[in-house]
Amino acid sequence: MKIMKQSNSGKLEIIQISRALAILFVLIGHANNNFYQEIGYDWFNVAQWERTGGVDFFFIVTGFMIYYLYNKYAGNKEKATQFLIKRILRIFPLYWIFTTLALIVPLAFPMLQEGYSMEITLKSFLLLTNEPILSSAWSLTHIVFFYLLFFAYMYKPVIMKPFIGLLVGLTLLGEMNILSFLPSSIFSISIVEIFCGALVAYLSIHFTNKYAGLCIVLGMAGYFLVWVHNVYSLTFIPLSLAYGFCSMLIMYGIAEMDKTKRNVPRFFSYLGGASYSIYIAHGPFIKGYLMIFVKLNFFNIISPFFGLIIIILLVTASCCIVYNVVEKPLVETLRRKVLNKKKVTQPVPHLLAK
């Protein structure tokens, strides 16, 4: 490993593939969980696993991109404020739209009506709960907390560096049950994973990784071993730590590959840009399409396996429509009005997930 001076230009071509794969990984996991709950179909018993690793990889990619693109502005209060405003404009409008739909749609379909208290509704809209009304967006709470911490780091890096280090250290002690009294809402392993993604970005910026291919292979092999453990319950593995470490290896290898100019298929680049719309909208679309398939007895004609594939494709296409028709114009309009920018020249990276 060789020390180098790297200018993080923000061109993350290969990372776009990581964004696309991460969000599809999450979508597939949630689709399988819904199939298991509704019709009892479970692909390799994945729905019964504690976690599949999709969200862990997503957290790592999120932390990597945010640090890679914005760390150079640490100490710049104006850029820090702009960063936070951009995050708010990107996250909340689309999230509020789909949370509102999750409240309204059941009124037309009484069988879907769950009923939510005012407290739950308010906490969901403000992302003050790990169990929001839009259930597939549970990890958004951790993402927003990370953004607030990173904003504080950009604003006052000297103060925030030891604070973040202490937060990560205490969280790891809590994960090992050494400090079991710590509140999980603050001292969450999910936050640690996102900061681990930032650590990978730091290493990528300042060092040359001569073993990028090996890192990717080892990371993928690690994922496979954890999945084997999940299937056969061979021994106890702290899944979040295992998935997080493997994701770091994969991300570190991919980041090195991204230092050389490469052509990325437009499809994956597009899916990477649409990742937030897919993240927010995929849950309701999965439930909607599955309800239609069950109502029309489609599974008497096609097997659940092919039905799952069809629904995944339909959900992906529907979420892309949401990206083109709702998210993209909405964010551009809001940024233009709030930040007085005529045109959005570069999509703001945003990654979330299971």
Within a domain: 345: no
Within a domain: 4: no
Cα(178)–Cα(246) distance, integer angstroms: 24
Within a domain: 75: yes
Per the structure, the complete domain to which residue 156 belongs is given by 13-340
Within a domain: 282: yes
Burial profile 180-213: b = 16 or more Cβ within 10 angstroms, e = fewer = eeeeeeebbbbbbbbbbbbbbbebbbeeebeebe
Within a domain: 162: yes
Q: What is the pLDDT of residue 17?
A: 83
Within a domain: 194: yes
Q: What is the pLDDT of residue 353?
A: 45
Please state whether 310 falls in left (phi above 0), alpha (psi between -120 and 50) or beta: alpha
Torsion of CA 82, 26, 268, 292, to 10 degrees: -110
- For residue 78, the number of C-alpha atoms closer than 13 Å in the C-beta half-sphere is 1
Structural contact between residues 57 and 34, judged by C-beta atoms closer than 8 angstroms: no
Q: What is the pLDDT of residue 7?
A: 46
| Per-residue pLDDT tens digits of the chain, which is 354 residues long | 444 444 454 457 778 788 888 899 999 999 999 999 999 999 878 888 878 888 999 999 999 999 999 999 999 999 999 999 999 999 999 999 999 998 887 666 665 556 677 888 899 999 988 889 998 889 999 999 999 999 999 999 999 999 999 999 999 888 877 887 788 778 999 999 999 999 999 999 999 999 999 999 999 999 999 988 888 776 666 778 899 999 999 999 999 988 876 677 888 889 989 999 999 999 999 999 999 999 999 999 999 999 999 999 999 999 999 999 999 999 999 999 998 765 544 444 454 444
Within a domain: 47: yes
Max CA distance (Å), the chain: 63
Structural contact between residues 142 and 190, judged by C-beta atoms closer than 8 angstroms: yes
Q: What is the pLDDT of residue 344?
A: 45
Residues 6+ apart with CB under 8 A from 47: 32, 33, 35, 36, 37
Number of domains in the chain: 1
Measured at the CA of 29, the angle between CA 130 and CA 318, to 5 degrees, comes to: 90
Q: Which amino acid, one-letter code, is at 303? A: S
Cα–Cα nearest to 6, from 196, 254, 255, 208: 208
Within a domain: 352: no
Cα(39)–Cα(102) distance, integer angstroms: 22
The distance of Cα 217 from the centroid of its chain, to the nearest Å, equals 22
